[in-house]
Amino acid sequence: MKKTISASLVNMFHVCQRELWLHANHINMEQTSDLVYEGKLIGEESYPQRTKNFREVDLGIAKIDFYDYKNKVVHETKKSDKLEHAHIAQVKYYLYLLENAGVESPTAILEYPTARKTHKIKALTPQDRQEIENWLSEIELILEQETCPALVKKRYCKTCSYFDLCYVGVFEED
């Protein structure tokens, strides 16, 4: 890897390559988003006992908020399961980084407290590792681009923290 690719960038790669590029180029809109703030609160407040039972792990390029060292389980809390494919990718990247740090066969649990839903992620397979390495190569190509990727209109754009930046004067209300 030439560039530092965080777990957030892996998540964004699966949601919007434009957002990925903007964020990686220090154009950050999340700090002004009420939805991002709400998600952060849900993650912090949904499981108050976590701070006693689990620890934070800083892997340098990624920080796992809640990790069960004894059972080798990453606990990741998300506000909604609408972009679950991106959440799964982010968590698999955590598992990949843990493996690279010497942890054998870590697993994860994705938790959606407002939906009362969980999704268990098994230890990575050789196919998972190859897929993750492909993502990293594709992300590097996007990050090397001189200009921002073209706008691709998606159903969830209206709730994105980058909406105003992407659609100023372009998007008409339906």
Q: CATH number, domain at 68? A: 3.90.320.10
CA distance 80 to 100: 29
Residue 172 lies in a domain: no
Mean pLDDT, range 13-18, rounded to an integer: 96
Give the pLDDT of residue 170. 53
Mean pLDDT, range 30-47, rounded to an integer: 53
Residue 113 lies in a domain: yes
Mean pLDDT, range 13-24, rounded to an integer: 94
Give the global pTM.
0.84
Residue 174 lies in a domain: no
Residue 173 lies in a domain: no
Q: Do 13 and 142 meet the contact criterion of CB atoms below 8 Å apart?
A: yes
Give the pLDDT of residue 171. 46
Q: Across all residues in the chain, what is the average pLDDT?
A: 85
Residue 115 lies in a domain: yes
Per the model's pLDDT, the better-predicted residue between 32 and 146 turns out to be 146
Residue 14 lies in a domain: yes
Domain count, the chain: 1
End-to-end CA distance of the chain: 42
Residue 63 lies in a domain: yes
Share of the chain above pLDDT 90, in %: 57
Range scoring the smallest mean pLDDT among 72-81, 93-102, 121-130, 141-150:
72-81
For residue 86, the enclosing domain spans: 7-164
Residue 42 lies in a domain: yes
